Amino acid sequence: MGKAGGFLEYDRKDGPVRQEAERIGDFREFHMSLPAKEQKNQAARCMDCGIPFCQGGGMISGMASGCPLHNLVPEINDLVYRGRMAEAYKRLSITHSFPEFTCRVCPALCEAACTCGLHDAPVATKENEKAVIEYAFANGIAEEIIPKVRTGKKVAVVGSGPSGLAAAQLLNMRGHEVTVFERKDRIGGLLRYGIPNMKLDKSVIDRRVRLMEKAGVHFVVNADVGRTVNAADLEKDFDAVILACGASRPRDIQAPGRDAEGIFFAVDFLGRVTKWLLDNAAENKIITETAAGPDDGASPLDLVKGRDVVVIGGGDTGNDCVGSTIRLGAKSVTQLEMMPMPPEKRLPSNPWPEWPRILKTDYGQEEAIWKFGSDPRIYQTTVKEFVKDKKGRLKELILISLKPEKDEKTGRIRMVPIEGSEKKIPAQLVLIAAGFLGSEPYVTESFGVETDARTNVKTRPGEYASTKSRVYTAGDMHRGQSLVVWAITEGRNAAREVDRDLMGYTNL
């Protein structure tokens, strides 16, 4: 696949990014694309390795290796190399519902497992896929299949994130009448209100939703199933219901002073920023005037500008908070990570093609380094106390260092406080990005489905039917907090199971 010896002839080259000085002035996407000719050269690096781990999608040492969608990566790369972009789109569409999302936000499991990456830089599969899907949209060949025959079966999908959208796409293509219920005011779930615009511009979601509507999918917004929409009514009106509501219960930080004004969950803050932009801004420019936001009347600009910001959590969501608050004029940004700093290169205990557990400096940290002169991350540290002023507003944090210690009973390593290591730092805004605990009880209880110890909806291993007849689940609500590519995979798999149960067989 690709050009014979191409990986020896061409070095890896990624698309250009807008420089920090420019990009922190707006919320527009900052990662640009290569010219078509140069992208062909990148596809030419695919080396016909014989065993393409990139498309394996299996678990190695408890971590995913390769694409869980099983995209036939070498075939797609070969078509890009040969300039046969329409065929590349057709090939990619067989296995992938929304490459326009993953090419922007996925950490590229395929590239981490690329054979070329064993001794050299991996093939730029993620950007090759972006070239394919953007070509398809630009040339009017991106489409949703409109079924010629309807089955007469009705399916409700609760949640419009990547999992719910993927399930809706396949079931509609099969001919079922699909209605997607979303509790927010716009479609997209965490794609819309959990991922910032500079990583995923919301017009990318809108153009896909328009295609799905044209193909016959019904969307209902401001429909909070379990609260404003009765779960029993959905079970009565539809032949099957898929719960794809995500793992939307954020993990909290319990420390004295937690009730101080100025502490928010990261996902709520990021959603607030996006809604503020969508409601009040043009072309993702930062608004200089204050504009009312939800709940307490303060806009994100009011909350952030001129303040010392502390982000608790070191994952993608924490990084997104760093980038967002820099754009909103934070005086300083500090990011706390409980775990030790990862190594810069793979350790012998973490060989290819396992997912590389190495230090990653993402765009938010790059911007903080550029603006403030140092990496915002402090490792092996957590909050011991939130300190309030006389009016109950957050003014500073007392931090404490942590050390790894082996639990004698379980054998697991846990991070324990180091007494006497406390220190104070100023903070008027804290964003908690410590992960998620699972599904929200009001949804699962309204449908009467059983949950597991992590509050995910319980199913048999490898299946998607819940313990309640005709109620299924998919995505983070099923497997726990994970990646967009896994959510899409889950949605597609759930759709096949629902179709089989409705029709007696499935051709999806």
The tens digit of pLDDT for each residue in 141-197 reads 999 999 999 999 999 999 999 999 999 999 999 999 999 999 999 999 999 999 999
In a domain, 149, yes or no: no
The residues, ordered by sequence, that sit 6+ positions from 225 with a Cβ below 8 Å of its Cβ are 158, 181, 183, 231, 234, 245, 443, 446
Distance in angstroms (rounded) separating the CA atoms of residues 472 and 449: 9
Same domain, 386 and 267: yes
Q: Return the CATH number at 173.
A: 3.50.50.60
Q: CB neighbours of 467 closer than 8 A, spacing ≥ 6?
A: 449, 450, 458, 459
Do 236 and 364 belong together in one domain? no
204 with 174, same domain?
yes
- b/e per residue 73-87 (b: at least 16 CB within 10 A): bbbbbbbbbeeebeb
Question: What distance in Å separates the CA atoms of residue 389 and residue 395, rounded to the nearest whole number?
Answer: 6
Domain assignment present for residue 329? The answer is yes
Cα of 144 vs its chain's centroid, Å = 23
Q: Are residues 345 and 420 in the same domain?
A: yes
Shared domain for 362 and 444, answered yes or no, is: no
Tally Cβ neighbours within 10 Å of residue 202. Answer: 21
The domain in which residue 85 lies consists of 6-138
Residue 143 belongs to a domain: no
**Spatial separation of the C-alpha atoms in residues 297 and 278, rounded to whole Å:** 16
The token pair that represents 5 in the structure block: 């010896």
107 domain-assigned: yes
pTM for the whole structure: 0.95
Angstrom CA distances, 108 to 126, 149, 166, 187, stand at 6, 37, 19, 25
Rounded CA-CA distance 315/323 in Å is 13
Is 127 in the same domain as 174?
A: no
Domain shared by 119 and 179, yes or no: no
- Predicted pLDDT of residue 293: 42
Same structural domain, 228 and 293: no
Number of domains in the chain: 3
**Residue numbers of the chain with a pLDDT score lower than 70:** 1, 281-297
Domain boundary among 406, 432, 458: 432
Rounded distance between C-alpha atoms, residue 137 and residue 208, angstroms: 10
The rounded distance, in Å, linking the Cα atoms of 448 and 306 is 47
Query: Would 254 be classed as within a structural domain?
Result: no
Whether residue 378 is found in the same domain as residue 231: no
Query: What are the structure tokens assigned to 408, written together?
Result: 């004698």
How far apart, in Å, do the first and last CA atoms of the chain sit? 27
Q: Report the distance separating Cα 245 and Cα 477, nearest Å.
A: 6
172 and 495 Cβ atoms separated by less than 8 Å: no
